[in-house]
Structure 1
Amino acid sequence: MTFTLAIVGRPNVGKSTLFNRLAGKRLAIVDDTPGVTRDRREAMGNISDLEFRLIDTAGLEEGAPGTLSDRMRKQTEAAIEDADVTLMLYDARVGVTTMDEHFGAMLRRAKKPVILCANKCEGRAVQEGVFEAYTLGLGDPVPLSAEHGEGLADLYQFIVSALKEIGIDPYAHEEEEYGKGQSRNEDTGPEEGDLNYEFVDEEGQNDDERPLRLAIVGRPNAGKSTLINALVGEDRLITGPEAGLTRDSIAVDWEWEGMPVRLFDTAGLRRQARITEKLEKMSVADTMRAVQFAEVVCLMLDGELGIEKQDLKIAEKVVKEGRALVIILNKWDAVKDRLDTQRQLKDALTKSLPQLKGVQIVTVSALMDKGLDRIMPAVEEAYSMWNARIPTSPFNKWLSDTLEKHPAPSVAGRRIKIRYGAQIKTRPPTFSLFCNMPDDLPDSYVRYLENELRRDFNLPGVPLRFYTRKGSNPYEGRRRQNRDSKRGKRYGKGSK
């Protein structure tokens, strides 16, 4: 069974840097600004052959009840309670501070194994700060540098010893299989006229083995963290009236009717012109990474404010990434004119993003736990359409009927002929069209095909992609043979 390590300490001692180092990838935002991390973040980590579940926490700070510092401290206390072993970091360059002493006493009262880590131990000038650690009464400190990866061998031995003291075999763990065996779909598409062609969706073959990745995005203070807490049934994420509480994307594992789901809480996306601070730019980049790795994205709107220009821009980014989309209209209990709010939302989507016509809209109140039971059925339906597969033969029958009803336009006196097509990918549904002049096919006509396909095959609100390829000329080889034959007759064999 995999054991759990929690990384704790006061702000700006390098907890997120060590978290990223042990996780083997950049998951947590790292910045010199104290207090960047606010929610606890989880990932699988390892040191050599030692694998474990890892929890990054907010900086330990004291605050009055109900304040942001108090809410962050409660999240850290929950992580300590959940962990088998706690890693307490302090800054060896600064030495042991009063705050370190205060939280060292708190960890001693927790009666769980604590490994004291003296971070930022690059060079010899920090030896005095390392010796100060003995005043905390937490045993020998482990000198390390999370940024440079120094001292991890010693940390390995300390972790093994701490686990043996509490009767846990550190090597009796199960391999983390998430993502194992996935392969990229290398299908290059059909040859023209191959009605028996059906692509193999290797990417979707492992869906039953991994959780559905669902990202919640939207403007600041729309209620994203509140929604996730309501879905999972616990105060997993920090919430409050302050805008911009979430700074980096937090993954929360959950299960809905037997289906594993990985929820991603993300930082609020403001207008680009208002984003000036480095930390917010990093938060926005982290949010967009969450969208790229998600399969379904829920765009959360504030029902009291209605849809705004920034919401439409976020929806457009989701569509460009090719993700399935569900719109959640939050704070529905506080909306006075509900019919007018829904009408304005549908009008704005029809006018600005016609490709999202028919996208599912779910009205909820995350704070009051109302309407939450309608979210996952809508997500499941959007996910199903995102994985839709249309066989080659029905697709070409549809294509023939659609072209007959409205033929492709002519360009410079030459008619564009679309001869054949097939679906080459799902997630989102992607199609390849063979035509004689692929570069000249107008975007307006491609949008016409998208709309017709979406309507005829019942794919509302799903991003569709069309790629055009130049079809081969069936008479090209015959003309070359005739030309060579005439040339041979004209000159004769052996003529000069």
Structure 2
Amino acid sequence: MSFKLAIVGRPNVGKSTLFNRLVGKRLALVDDQPGVTRDLREAAARIADLRFTVIDTAGLEDATDDSLQGRMRRLTERAVEMADACLFMIDARVGVTEADRGFAEILRRQGATVIVIANKAEGKAGEAGFYDAFQLGLGEPVQLSAEHGEGVTDLYSRLRPLIEAHEAAEEAPETDIDVGEDDGDEGTRRPDKPIQIAVVGRPNAGKSTLINRILGEDRLLTGPEAGITRDSISVQLDWDGQAFRIFDTAGMRKKARVQEKLEKLSVSDGLRAVKFAEVVVLVIDVTSPFDQQDLRIADLAEREGRAVVVAVNKWDLETDKSDKARELREAFGRLLPQLSGAPLVLVSGLTGAGLDKLRAAILSAHDVWNRRITTAKLNQWLAGEVSAHPPPAPSGRRLKLRYMTQAKTRPPSFVVFCSIPDELPTAYRRFLVNGLRRDFDMPGTPIRLFVRGGDNPYEGKKKRLATSLDKHKRPKQRG
């Protein structure tokens, strides 16, 4: 098990900046405004040859009630319990504050292995704060600048013995394990390879609550306030034998309402999660289903070519379930025809109702998204479609659809070779896409259809081969 290192400290001391530097990517949102980070974010990190897991945490607040700050503090304290060591960060330019002393006492009582980091210590402005850090009684601090990378070598020297001791303790004698025979690749989905899922929706739709219910623990910060989640937080789990990586994203409001820089960064982070996901789970509040923003988010996922599953959350609040379910399915088919046949699942993040159906819908959507159809079946199908419903003849010229093949999966993408590609109407292309969706059992998934000019691409090879053979058969002329 990887060595876990939690970064803790007051708000706005540079925890997320150091997290990004250790990870080597800008994963965590960074802003001058204090309190940007609210959830726990884990990622693989490295310093030279050291490999470990780093946890970014919310700023430690002096609150113990059920307020948002109190819930954030409990989540940070939980990260300290999970970690093998903590980097306790202070702002060297501000010096040691009373809050720093209080949090140092908490870490000391919990018996955590602590390394004090005097951050923002570049130049003379941070020297006084660095020496003040000795009074915390947690050992010699590390003078560091997360922004500029100064002092990372000193941090390496302090971490190396801890990580080496952890790796030595983790080593165990090898045992004889019967792994069975390898049956080969039985499909595109492997139980050990995580399926990437982005959970998206409007603010306060219950995304984090739903993910916590799937995880079986309060891993993500939740509450009645809208817009709690800011970063796109990823969590990995084994869900009944299949590995998943689930990204919790910030609620997406209408673009005109997004004014603050921080919210713009949060929404951009969520859009990036959609682009890298394989399946997008759109969470809709049953009390206000299929809002205009819900439709925009669903359309975004379809345009990005992601498989889509619609999860209608807070189903436990509905009293007339039968009529409401029928109403929701009718509205889904009418408002989102581009996702016709996509799974719609009724769930409750609070009670856990419908989670088995949600998992089955995600796996089904992922399988369809990866589906590949042989060229022989496609051309046999194309001939039948053209025979039953010939394409129109614009300006009296008959269009010939000569050949069809699947160019790629994820999402399924097809190429049709046509005699006059620019003249093939959009309606007929839509007719072919609907036929593919119907006859090859691909409900809901985005389908891409490209029309190209020219004949069967293999015919040119036959002609070139015949010409080459003909040249070899010709008698050589004597000079």
1:425 — aligned with what?
408
Indicate the residue corresponding to 2:359 in structure 1: 376
Residue in 2 that maps onto 1:59:
59
Residue of structure 1 equivalent to 2:142:
142
Distance 1:416 1:344 in 2: 42
| Corresponding residue number in structure 2 for 1:92 | 92
**What is the CA–CA distance in structure 1 between the aligned matches of 2:259 and 2:290, rounded to whole Å?**
24
Where does residue 263 of structure 2 map in the other structure? Answer: 280
Q: Deviations over 1:257-283 (max 9, x none)?
A: 211111111111111111111111111
Q: Does the 8 Å contact 2:95/2:129 carry over to 1?
A: yes
User: Counterpart of 2:127?
Assistant: 127
Tell me by how many angstroms 1:443 deviates. 2.1
The CA distance in 1 between the partners of 2:27 and 2:131, in whole Å, is 32
1:394 counterpart residue number:
377
Find the counterpart in structure 2 of residue 244 from structure 1.
227
* Residue identity matched to 1:168: H
- The aligned counterpart of 2:218 is 235
Q: Aligned to 1:412, what secondary structure does the other structure show?
A: helix
Matched-pair contact (CA < 8 Å) for 1:85–1:163: no
Residue correspondence of structure 1 range 329-408 to structure 2 within 5 A: 329-408=312-391
Unaligned residue ranges in structure 2 (runs of 5+) = 173-184, 464-479
AA at the equivalent of 1:466: L
Aligned mates of 1:320, 1:438 — CA distance in 2: 23
1-structure distance, mates of 2:319, 2:218: 29
Q: Secondary structure at 1:467's aligned position in 2?
A: strand
Aligned to 2:241: 258
Matched with 1:161 is 161
How far apart are the structure 1 equivalents of 2:420 and 2:19? 53
Partner Cα separation in structure 2 for residue 413 and residue 297 of structure 1: 45
Structure 1: which amino acid aligns with 2:140?
D
* Range moving further from structure 2, 246-255 or 104-113: 104-113
3-state SS of paired residue (1:52): strand
TM, length-normalised to structure 1: 0.86
Displacement of 1:368 in angstroms is 1.6
- Asked if the contact 1:160–1:170 (Cα under 8 Å) also holds between the matched residues in 2, the reply is no
Counterpart in the other structure of 1:494 = none
- Structure 1 distance, partners of 2:295, 2:171, is 46
2:272 to 282, 289, 292: 289
How far, CA to CA, are the matches of 2:113 and 2:423 in structure 1? 68
Which residue of the partner structure matches residue 471 of structure 1? 454
Contact preservation (8 Å) 1:332, 1:363: yes
Q: Distance in 2 between matches of 1:276 and 1:282?
A: 11
Give the match's secondary structure for 1:415: coil
Q: Deviations over 1:183-238 (max 9, x none)?
A: xxxxxxxxxxxxxxxxxxx9x86845521111111111111111111111101011
Say whether the 8 Å CA contact 1:4–1:53 is kept in structure 2.
yes
Q: Distance in 2 between matches of 1:269 and 1:339?
A: 29
Contact 1:51-1:173 within 8 A present in 2 as well: no
Q: What is the alpha-carbon distance in structure 1 between the residues aligned to residue 329 and residue 43 of structure 2?
A: 39
Q: Equivalent residues in 2 for 1:194-209 (5 A)?
A: 207-209=190-192
SS at match of 1:346: helix
Higher alpha-carbon deviation: 204-213 or 355-364: 204-213
Distance 2:424 2:320 in 1: 45
- Sequence identity percentage: 53
Aligned to 1:4: 4
Q: Distance in 2 between matches of 1:205 and 1:227?
A: 27
Following superposition, which runs of at least 4 residues in structure 1 exceed 4 angstroms of deviation?
Answer: 170-174, 204-209
The CA deviation at 1:349 is: 3.0
Partner-residue secondary structure (3-state), 2:166: coil
**How has the CA–CA distance of structure 1 residues 152 and 287 changed in structure 2, closer, same or farther, with 3 Å as cutoff?**
same
Q: TM-score, normalised by structure 2?
A: 0.89
- Say whether the 8 Å CA contact 1:45–1:53 is kept in structure 2: yes
**Structure-1 residue corresponding to 2:35:** 35
Report the Cα offset of residue 124 of structure 1: 2.1
| Residue segments in structure 1 that go unaligned for 5+ positions in a row | 175-201, 479-496
Q: Secondary structure at the match of 1:305?
A: coil
1:315 aligns with 2:298: yes
C-alpha contact 1:267 1:284 (8 A) present in aligned 2 = yes
Distance 2:321 2:301 in 1: 26
Q: Is the 8 A contact 1:2 1:172 kept in 2?
A: no
Letter in 1 for 2:84: D
- Is the CA contact (8 Å cut-off) linking 2:204 and 2:251 kept in structure 1? yes
Residues 224, 265 of structure 1: 8 Å contact kept: yes
Kept in 1, the 8 Å contact 2:87–2:114? The answer is yes
Amino acid at match of 2:83: A
Partner of 2:124, secondary structure, is coil
- In the alignment, the residues of structure 2 paired with residue 221 and residue 72 of structure 1 have an alpha-carbon distance, to the nearest angstrom, of 17
CA shift digits 1:300-336 (9 cap, x unpaired):
1111112211111110001111111111111112123
1:111 partner letter: G
SS at structure 1 position matched to 2:118? strand
Give the Cα separation in 2 of the matches to 1:205 and 1:376.
17
Give the Cα–Cα distance (whole angstroms) in 2 for the partners of residues 163 and 384 of structure 1. 40
1:173–1:92: structure 2 CA closer, same or farther, 3 Å change rule? farther
Considering only aligned residues, what root-mean-square deviation do their CA atoms show, in Å?
2.3
Given that 1:213 and 1:294 are in contact with CA atoms closer than 8 Å, whether structure 2 keeps it comes out as yes
Aligned length, in residue pairs: 449
Return closer, same or farther for 1:414/1:122 CA change in 2, 3 Å cut-off. Answer: farther
